[in-house]
Amino acid sequence: MANLETQVLIIGGGATGTGIARDLALRGIKCILAEKDDINAGASGANHGLLHSGSRYVASDAEAAIECREEGEILKRLAPHCIDNTGGIFAAVSGDDEKYISDFPSMCQKCGISAKPIDIKEAKELEPVLSEKTIAAYLTEDASIDPFMLSLENMAQAVSLGSSYMRHAKAIEFKIENGKIKYTKLINSKTGEETKVFAEQIVNAAGAWAGEMAELASVTIPMVYSKGSLVITQKRLTKRVINRLRKASDADILVPGGAVSIFGTTSIRINTLDAIYPTVEEVDFMISEGAKMVPILETTRYIRAYAGVRPLISLGAKKGDDRSVSRGFVLLDHTENGVDNFITITGGKLTTYRLMAEKTADLVCRHLGISATCKTREEPLPSTTHGKWTEPAMTPKMWMQKQKTDDILLCECEMISKSAVDSLIESAKQSGDPALKVLGLRSRIGKGPCQGAFCSLRIAAYMYDKGELNLDSGISDIKFFLNERWRGERPLQWGTPIIQSEIAEAIHCGFLSIEL
Amino acid sequence: MFFSISFKISLAIFVLGTLYRIINWFRFKIGTDALSFTMIDRIKSGVIGIFKTIFSLKIFSIIKVLILDVVLQIKIIRADKWRWIMHMCIFYGFMLLLLMHAFENQITKALFKNYASTLNPFMFLRNLFGAIVIFGVLIAVLRRKKTPKILTNAHDSFAIFLLFSIMLSGFVLEGLKIISSPIFDEMVSSYISGSDDITPLKAYWAKKFHVVFKEKININDEKLLSEGESSHIDNCASCHSMPETAFISYPFAVSFKHFGNTLNDFRVDRWLWYFHVLSCFLGLAYLPFSKFFHILSTPINLLLEPAEEEKNKVTSRIIGMDACTHCGVCTENCSVAQIYQVTQNPNILPSEKLASIKLLSRGKKVEREKLNEIAEGSFICTNCYRCTKVCPSGINLDDLWTASKNTLIQQGYFEPHNWIAQKSPSEWAETVKKKKDEPSDLIDNPEIFYGCVQCSTCASVCPVVAASNGNEIDLTPQQVMNLLRMGLKDLAMASKMVWNCTTCYMCEENCPQGIRVTDIFYELRNKAYIRFKDVKENV
Amino acid sequence: MSRIELKCDLLVIGSGIAGMAASLFAANRGIKTIQIGKTNTLSFTSGLMDVLAVHPIEEKRLWKNPWDAIDTLKKDISGHPYSKVSKDTIEKAFKELVAFLKSADVPYANYQNKNVNIITPIGTLKPTFFVPESMLNGVSALEEKKPCLIIDFYNLKGFSALQIKETLKDKWQNLRTAQIKFLDSSKEQFAEQMAYDLEKPKNLDKLAKEISPHIKDAEILGIPAILGVKRHSSVLSKLQELLGVKVFEIPTIIPSVPGIRLKKAFEDKLQDIGVQSFYSQEVIQVFHKDDFVFDVTGAASMFKIRTKGVILSTGRFFGGGLSADREKITETIFNLEIYGPFLRKVWHELDFFAPRGHNINNCGIETDEYFHPIDKSGKVIFNNLYAVGSILAHNDWTRMKCGTGVSVATAYSAVNAFLNQKG
């Protein structure tokens, strides 16, 4: 069993965890980030990719609204490569709460959020897919953000400053001595290999799994899980982010993401974190509800659906407690639970991830007795090769620019060539063995219409040729990758997707007999 | 006097005009291969070529063609029977009139000893032939009205108008002559001795021949009429048939009767005679400059075309253009004609492009704007050969298009694939990044590609993909579709795949999901041309 | 617009293996037959012909002897198309088909009347029954674990000899691999195009020269299925001669050359025996009054077909025989009753590779014993309409490995039933 030493161990490789890693690294503090699966495997990778202007929260949570506004402005300035500054429209349709509509501008104004009224005709001109029944529309500052690129770039900078990232490393034990965690035992879920990490501070940024992690240190965090599902359309339906102008509810946000659009969400209370997948019922509900705002949702082709879990924390009696920085997110110092070097950060939104990281890092520094100040408010997020592959339509552009005929495409849908796969393999190898899913997470592989049916085979063959796969590991790799894709395809099986999955089954089962 | 002077003038114009046109056959040039020959060379070679053809075995096949395609117009009857009827009516109706009526002194009289224009069957036949021509003209007008693809230019309208006025004036003139008492009087003074009482004859002619007399004549007096009849038989009947058989002019005459005196007083028949004759002479003078010139150029071209001599090919091209009657059949069959609806550039249509190329062949300076239009039309042409196949005048249009493209290239108007290939797809995409674009239902509509299941059959069956080496191919058809799906149209537009596509439709036919791959490529090319052409000067 | 009306006794709709087989059987019996369908269906098949290899699928029970498996299957799944045909029928049907293919120079064979394992491009083993003769060498070589060389081609995607070797490591130690550059290797390679290239002797010589130095102690060579299309047999024997070792083909991912060989064989030879085939055509309207009358359209034509009987072999979703919207599954031409209008949420399992298979694969058309489609009450819908092939219900062909067998056997039965009915 390997032993590792570090100043800070961060558990959880979502936006918050990677954000903390970068924040700390910029303050000169080295850390290890251990993630039980891979970057953004939880809620950070299963959301709209929406950079909120704050308008959505003006009624329910003015404080969160203001945070969103401020953080949105900072990110647009410092991480423009991760953001598509689309602007947004809040649109109400007939039947929506008229009082909310009339109060909306003044609520926005109170939070300093821009919301410019436009007439219906103009709104229809800007976004022709809006319903004929639209009765009110406002222009807002919402934007779309690529959460994968964001987390990958955060982590990449932390790594470049001396921190490290371990994927498939699940924390299974905290060794507590004298009210302190002496070491954390990690297990590699692929190889079964165990590692002990001796860290001065442990940050629990495990998102929905924060409760489970805290439990390892015998700390109880009262958590409630809310599952939210989303669907991806095959074509981009709007230029801007479209929000339904009503009290925040289900199936009311449509966010453009490169060449596609993402629509959601649902919110379903679940008790365990075992089965997080979108269901047929959720998809059908979202489509019929969403079609009221954007009717084309009823007929457009969908590529896949996915689901994430929002961790909600009921802090009950301790209302107004200073540990609750805002109702948006929760930062817990477990000193008072008897564990001195253990901090939990959870909840919050993608938009405010930087602020959450800043507050957490501040607390870590206090614990460590270091007086370094936060730099992420001013320092731009660098663009690296690790993050660039996630951007839709990026790979074909780069490939066409080079125009090397020998550099053939392994993934046809998203046009990812041999050289791009080489680069992805290099990037993935920084934190473990490359596998299809690992490459998929860092790129657009498997995200096109074929959903991995063809590219999984071609890339696996290529990886064998490069010596990156051996024995029959490719078979399980392909199965694992396709099954992961399948969860998102399953609720959308009608029209062309059912043809697509029939072909996939004919190839993989009928011909390759991979199921036997 | 008037007749012979005006005839001589128009004949002179006709002869000079014809000579001018013939000389131009050897003077004008289109195609880069034409540049190296002098006019004298071409005349020599042309004359020799024609004689060679005449005195070779080929002449039999040419006679066959002449009979089938020129005399019987078999090509047209296959394509459109109404058009055939039109052509036959106009051509043969007019020819018969020409021979029987216009050249009555030279031809008809020589053949028929007792010919008189007012005698049957000649009178009847004249009306019949005239009616046939008018019927043909009416079909021509209706056809041009009913087929929107066929454009009508000034020459077409003028030719139709001229024919129609010659025919109509002839009929009206004949009608006026029937009722004319002055002509009656002239005839009486020429053929009947002055002492005779012509009242009975007048009565008889007023009743039977509808001559309108100033003085009151009792046409119901049986005795008078029977006297008139015998006088008629003695003096007139040998030259005059009953007017009813002039079945078109006769109704005119009857309807003119009410104001016959006025017409007779003013001798309107004479004025109309001038008009009729002048129209005919105008037609004669205009003929070398009109579409009717094809009567001459088509057969000559048929004689010259088989000559393999390079010089004659060049000449044949020019004669071929003169053989065009602007009938529009090529345009009706053109495989890219529908693009005209989009760009409104008439030079896409072969029938119109030919007129523009005539301009080009004269070697005079053509405005840049016009050249741009001709180039656009020319390079959209796929040389699919359909126009050549259907041309009733047998013009080798395919060769003409190739030649004119060469001329355009020589003048700096490159084929789109040439100047588009000067930049890579990425560079083009960057160049037109900010340019606004009219979205198309086909290439800008991702739903068109929704059906794609990424099976790569299109790439697998594509002969271009198979035959190209690594440098000649940049994308497969499937990859082009995926670029479009991702909204990267500008990258697809300039790709080698799109521009090297032979439009063989293998991809489209083999696509299991029925995606219109080839149609999409074709549209991409046209859109690329429109989208890139404004900025191409910077290339 | 008045359209040309074509007349026939039997119209076969579909150009997959079921449609091709039905056309063949009909023509062999002197029935005036017209076939319409897509152009390219067979290139999406692997070219392997399954009879039955897995049953019950939940247990992943593999059968060496498909005929025994059929006996058990008949007892277990009464709705399965095999339960309506005798083993004798299946055997006769295949005999007729294989004889036809042999005459078209696409020889097929089985191995000791048993299911065989064919190596796939990812190194798994695919159990199947009739295989192209060029693959049989590989079957015995694997059983005998002969020293073998497997090659792949640079820039032919989705085929790695190394992957096959690695995946088969514990089953076949005597494997070596080599990567060969094929002619113009600077661009992407497509199996179909390579196959046509190799029909030119010059190219085949060049390829043999490339491979030769790698043979060494190998007694047999495994190569992606690219050895010619129409002249496959001669390409294969020439290559064996040039290399001095036996050669076997390994099927590739679609579009696959063995599939294309089948397609070409049917396209050429069906015409010779009197089938009028129209590919790239789709039915747009059907009228029924004793005879069926179809309005048919294609890329450049529109016509009517008047027929006394119809064999429906349009396949499932990819073939176009079935289509699904959010609520239901529909048969696309006659709007026939579909077995299994389950709710969409139970169409598919959560696990794509779930052993019991997806419910939707048992959806399809139910028929009487003559393959007349029936409605819910069990009544025959049209007595001159027959449904055959993968569109039939209770037939999860991808899991059971019974696709070709069901298609061929049901086509055979339906054609005979039509013949008997016609009298």
Q: Residue C91 is part of which domain span?
A: 5-104+260-422
Confidence at A322, pLDDT banded by 50, 70, 90:
very low
Confidence at C301, pLDDT banded by 50, 70, 90:
low
**Tokens at residue C89, please?**
């029928």
Compare all CA atoms of chain C with the CA of B462 and give the residue at the minimum distance. Answer: C193
**Tokens at residue A403, please?**
């125009």
Q: How far apart are CA B165 and CA B282, in angstroms?
A: 11
- Same domain membership, residue C275 and residue C244: no
Asked if C234 contacts C228 with a C-beta cutoff of 8 angstroms, the reply is: yes
Q: How far apart are CA B538 and CA B534, in angstroms?
A: 9
pLDDT tens per residue across all 539 residues of chain B: 778 888 899 999 999 999 998 998 888 888 888 888 888 888 888 888 888 888 888 888 888 888 887 788 887 787 778 888 998 999 899 999 988 888 888 888 888 888 888 888 888 999 999 999 999 999 999 988 887 777 888 888 898 999 999 999 999 999 999 888 888 888 888 888 766 778 888 888 888 888 888 888 887 888 888 888 888 888 888 888 888 888 999 998 888 888 888 888 888 888 999 999 999 999 989 988 888 888 888 888 877 777 677 888 888 888 888 888 888 888 888 888 888 877 788 898 999 999 889 888 887 788 888 888 888 888 888 888 888 888 888 888 988 998 888 888 888 777 777 788 888 888 888 888 888 888 888 888 877 888 889 999 999 999 999 888 777 788 999 999 999 988 889 899 989 899 888 888 899 989 999 899 999 998 898 888 888 877 766 44
Compare all CA atoms of chain A with the CA of B496 and give the residue at the minimum distance. Answer: A403
| Structural domain contains residue C18 | yes
Strands C4-13 and C246-250: unpaired
| Structural domain contains residue C156 | yes
Confidence at A321, pLDDT banded by 50, 70, 90:
very low
pLDDT at A299 over 70: yes
**Tokens at residue A239, please?**
């230029």
- Same domain membership, residue A271 and residue A136: yes
**Tokens at residue A254, please?**
């449509």
What's the gap in Å between the CA of C249 and the closest CA on chain B? Answer: 19
Q: Which region, left, alpha or beta, applies to residue A251 given φ > 0 means left and ψ of -120 to 50 means alpha?
A: left
Distance of CA A239 to the CA centre of its chain: 21
Distances, alpha carbon A152 to alpha carbons A41, A260, A427, B216, in Å: 12, 21, 10, 116
Question: In this predicted structure, what is the pLDDT of residue C323?
Answer: 94
Q: Is A393–B482 a contact, with Cβ atoms under 8 angstroms apart?
A: no
- Same domain membership, residue C372 and residue C344: yes
| Structural domain contains residue A375 | no
**Tokens at residue A334, please?**
């477990």
Q: How far apart are CA C281 and CA C314, in angstroms?
A: 12
Q: Is A408–C325 a contact, with Cβ atoms under 8 angstroms apart?
A: no
Confidence at A318, pLDDT banded by 50, 70, 90:
very low
Q: How far apart are CA B182 and CA B260, in angstroms?
A: 11
- Same domain membership, residue C131 and residue C90: no
- Same domain membership, residue C246 and residue C264: no
| Structural domain contains residue C52 | yes
pLDDT at A203 over 80: yes
- Burial class from Cβ neighbours inside 10 Å (0-12, 13-18, 19+) for residue C113 reads exposed
Interface test with B, best of A234, A407, A412 (most B CBs within 10 A): A412
Q: How far apart are CA A82 and CA A221, in angstroms?
A: 33
| Look-up of token digits 């091209």 | B317
Distances, alpha carbon B277 to alpha carbons A503, B5, B134, B182, B283, in Å: 81, 12, 18, 20, 10
Question: In this predicted structure, what is the pLDDT of residue A246?
Answer: 92
Asked if C313 contacts C407 with a C-beta cutoff of 8 angstroms, the reply is: yes
Q: How far apart are CA A283 and CA A228, in angstroms?
A: 11
pLDDT at C16 over 70: yes
- Same domain membership, residue A412 and residue A490: yes
| Structural domain contains residue C114 | no
How is residue B51 annotated by DSSP? H
For position C269, which CATH number holds?
Answer: 3.50.50.60
pLDDT at A316 over 60: no
- Same domain membership, residue C84 and residue C140: no
| Structural domain contains residue A485 | yes
Asked if C398 contacts C78 with a C-beta cutoff of 8 angstroms, the reply is: no
Q: List, in sequence order, every residue forming a beta bridge with C240; answer none if it has no partner.
A: none
What's the gap in Å between the CA of B472 and the closest CA on chain A? Answer: 9
Residue A5 three-state SS:
strand
- Same domain membership, residue C410 and residue C324: yes
Nearest to A261 by CA among A49, A413, A90, A416: A49
- Same domain membership, residue C167 and residue C71: no
Distance of CA B213 to the CA centre of its chain: 47
Question: In this predicted structure, what is the pLDDT of residue B237?
Answer: 82
Question: In this predicted structure, what is the pLDDT of residue A376?
Answer: 95
Q: Is B512–C318 a contact, with Cβ atoms under 8 angstroms apart?
A: yes
- Same domain membership, residue A115 and residue A13: no
Compare all CA atoms of chain A with the CA of B423 and give the residue at the minimum distance. Answer: A401
Q: Which residues contact A106 (CB under 8 A, 6 or more apart)?
A: none
- Same domain membership, residue A437 and residue A331: no
Q: Is C187–B470 a contact, with Cβ atoms under 8 angstroms apart?
A: yes
Question: In this predicted structure, what is the pLDDT of residue A386?
Answer: 81
| Structural domain contains residue A376 | no
Q: How far apart are CA B20 and CA C422, in angstroms?
A: 78
- Same domain membership, residue C298 and residue C195: no
Helices B39-54 & B58-65 angle (0-180, nearest 10): 90
Strands (E), B68-125: none
**Percent of chain C whose predicted confidence (pLDDT) is above 70:** 98
Mean pLDDT of C62-69: 96
Q: Is C122–A478 a contact, with Cβ atoms under 8 angstroms apart?
A: yes
Mean pLDDT of A306-323: 64
Q: Which residues contact B450 (CB under 8 A, 6 or more apart)?
A: A234, A301, A495, A496
Helices A62-78 & A353-368 angle (0-180, nearest 10): 90
pLDDT at A281 over 90: yes
What residue type is A319 in one-letter code? K
Nearest to B531 by CA among B490, B485, B477, B470: B490
| Structural domain contains residue A49 | no
**Tokens at residue B107, please?**
């031809």
Q: Residue A291 is part of which domain span?
A: 83-144+225-308
Q: Is A415–B473 a contact, with Cβ atoms under 8 angstroms apart?
A: no
Nearest to A200 by CA among A336, A369, A27: A369
**Tokens at residue A168, please?**
């498939």
Question: In this predicted structure, what is the pLDDT of residue B423?
Answer: 85
- Same domain membership, residue A470 and residue A434: yes
Q: Give A-chain residues touching B454 at CB under 8 angstroms.
A: 412-413, 448-450, 453-454
Confidence at C154, pLDDT banded by 50, 70, 90:
very high
**Cis ω for the linkage preceding A265 (within 30 of 0):** yes
- Same domain membership, residue A105 and residue A230: yes
Question: In this predicted structure, what is the pLDDT of residue A325?
Answer: 38
Nearest to C418 by CA among C91, C25, C113: C25
Q: How far apart are CA A297 and CA A307, in angstroms?
A: 18
Strands A302-313 and A223-233: antiparallel
Output the CA angle A185-A191-A197, nearest 5 degrees: 20
- Same domain membership, residue A354 and residue A446: no
**Tokens at residue B450, please?**
């929704």
Q: List, in sequence order, every residue forming a beta bridge with C283; answer none if it has no partner.
A: C296
Q: Is A234–B513 a contact, with Cβ atoms under 8 angstroms apart?
A: no
Question: In this predicted structure, what is the pLDDT of residue B312?
Answer: 84
- Same domain membership, residue A8 and residue A20: yes
Question: In this predicted structure, what is the pLDDT of residue A319?
Answer: 42
Give me the helices (H) in A230-352, please.
Answer: 280-290
Question: In this predicted structure, what is the pLDDT of residue A214?
Answer: 94
- Same domain membership, residue C142 and residue C190: yes
pLDDT at A344 over 50: yes
pLDDT averaged over chain C?
92
Output the CA angle A361-A364-A367, nearest 5 degrees: 155
Helices C87-103 & C403-422 angle (0-180, nearest 10): 100
The segment with the largest mean pLDDT, out of B484-498, C206-220, C299-313, is C206-220
- Same domain membership, residue A505 and residue A478: yes
Give me the helices (H) in A326-385, please.
Answer: 353-368
Look at C235 and C290; give whichever has higher pLDDT. Answer: C235
Compare all CA atoms of chain C with the CA of A287 and give the residue at the minimum distance. Answer: C326
Q: Is A406–B487 a contact, with Cβ atoms under 8 angstroms apart?
A: no
Confidence at C177, pLDDT banded by 50, 70, 90:
very high
> Pick from A392, A405, A415: which is nearest to B479 by CB?
A415
Of the three residues C250, C282, C307, the one that is the final residue of a domain is C250
pLDDT at A60 over 50: yes
| Structural domain contains residue C264 | yes
| Structural domain contains residue A313 | no
Q: How far apart are CA B167 and CA B188, in angstroms?
A: 29
| Structural domain contains residue C112 | no
Asked if C33 contacts C275 with a C-beta cutoff of 8 angstroms, the reply is: yes
A-C contacts at Cβ under 8 angstroms: 152
Q: Is B477 on the interface with A (CB under 8 A)?
A: no
Mean pLDDT of A96-114: 93
- Same domain membership, residue A165 and residue A192: yes
Of the three residues A273, A308, A343, the one that is the final residue of a domain is A308
| Structural domain contains residue A415 | yes
**Cis ω for the linkage preceding B121 (within 30 of 0):** yes
Q: How far apart are CA A239 and CA A220, in angstroms?
A: 44
C 392-421 → A contacts, CB under 8 A = 397-399, 401, 403
H helix or E strand, kind and range, residue A4: strand A2-11
Residue B87 three-state SS:
helix
- Same domain membership, residue A251 and residue A397: no
Q: How far apart are CA C365 and CA A322, in angstroms?
A: 66
- The widest CA-to-CA distance across chain C, in whole angstroms, is 70
| Structural domain contains residue C320 | yes
Q: What are phi and psi of B363, to 5 degrees?
A: 80, 5
Question: In this predicted structure, what is the pLDDT of residue C377?
Answer: 92
R_g over Cα of chain A: 23
| Structural domain contains residue A374 | no
pTM of the model: 0.78
Residue C301 three-state SS:
coil
- Same domain membership, residue A419 and residue A338: no
Compare all CA atoms of chain A with the CA of B456 and give the residue at the minimum distance. Answer: A412
State pLDDT tens for residues C83-126. Answer: 999 999 999 999 999 999 999 999 999 998 999 999 999 999 99
Q: How far apart are CA A240 and CA C22, in angstroms?
A: 54
The segment with the largest mean pLDDT, out of B487-491, C181-185, C404-408, is C404-408
State pLDDT tens for residues A355-400. Answer: 999 999 999 999 999 999 999 999 999 998 887 888 888 889 999 9
Nearest to C54 by CA among C78, C77, C86: C77
| Structural domain contains residue A75 | no
Nearest to C125 by CA among C170, C89, C178: C170
Question: In this predicted structure, what is the pLDDT of residue B536?
Answer: 67
How many structural domains does chain C have?
2
Chains in contact with A, where contact means 3 or more Cβ–Cβ distances below 8 Å, are B, C
Q: Is A298 on the interface with B (CB under 8 A)?
A: no
How many structural domains does chain A have?
3
Q: Which residues contact B28 (CB under 8 A, 6 or more apart)?
A: B318, B358, B361, B362, B363
Q: Is A461–C125 a contact, with Cβ atoms under 8 angstroms apart?
A: no
Of the three residues C230, C250, C270, the one that is the final residue of a domain is C250
Q: Is B105 on the interface with A (CB under 8 A)?
A: no
- Same domain membership, residue C282 and residue C190: no
